[in-house]
Amino acid sequence: MSHKVCVTHAEANGGAARRAPGDTEGLAALLDGTGLRLTRMTATPVPLYHVLPPRLHGRALAALHGASAAAARVLPRLLGYQFVALARQA
C-alpha cells in the first residue's frame, strides 16, 4: 500500500522552521523522525507557466522552462524551486 503525505518544514517543526529552505539533510532528518526513510529526492524547476501570462507561452518559454528544469537537476540546492521526496516506511 502506498501513502502520499505532504508536510511542510514549518508544520513538522511545530510551526517554526528550524532549518533553512533547501536543506536536504534537514528534510531527510524530518522524514526519519516520522518513521520514514528517504529513498529519492528531486528538485522542481520554477513554475514559469504559472507565473507568466498565457500570451507568453510558446517555444521560447518552453526552451527556458527546459533549461530551468535541467539547471534544477544539476544544481538542485541552488536552482531548484521546491523539493519532492519519495520515502518509505523504515
Q: pLDDT band at residue 15, thresholds of 50, 70 and 90?
A: very low
Convert the pLDDT of each residue in 37-48 to its tens digit: 888 888 899 999
Whether 2 maps to a domain, the answer reads: no
Whether 4 maps to a domain, the answer reads: no
pLDDT of residue 28: 81
Q: Give the SS3 label for residue 43.
A: strand
pLDDT of residue 4: 53
- Residue 47 to residue 12: CA distance in whole angstroms: 25
Domain count, the chain: 1
Whether 17 maps to a domain, the answer reads: yes
DSSP-derived letter for residue 54 is G
Boundaries of domain holding 55: 9-89
Q: Over 70: is that where the pLDDT of 32 sits?
A: yes
**Rounded mean pLDDT, 70-76:** 91
Residues contacting residue 31 through CB under 8 Å, at least 6 positions apart = 37, 38, 85, 87
pLDDT of residue 70: 95
Does the global pTM surpass 0.95?
no
Whether 3 maps to a domain, the answer reads: no
Q: Across all residues in the chain, what is the average pLDDT?
A: 79
Whether 76 maps to a domain, the answer reads: yes
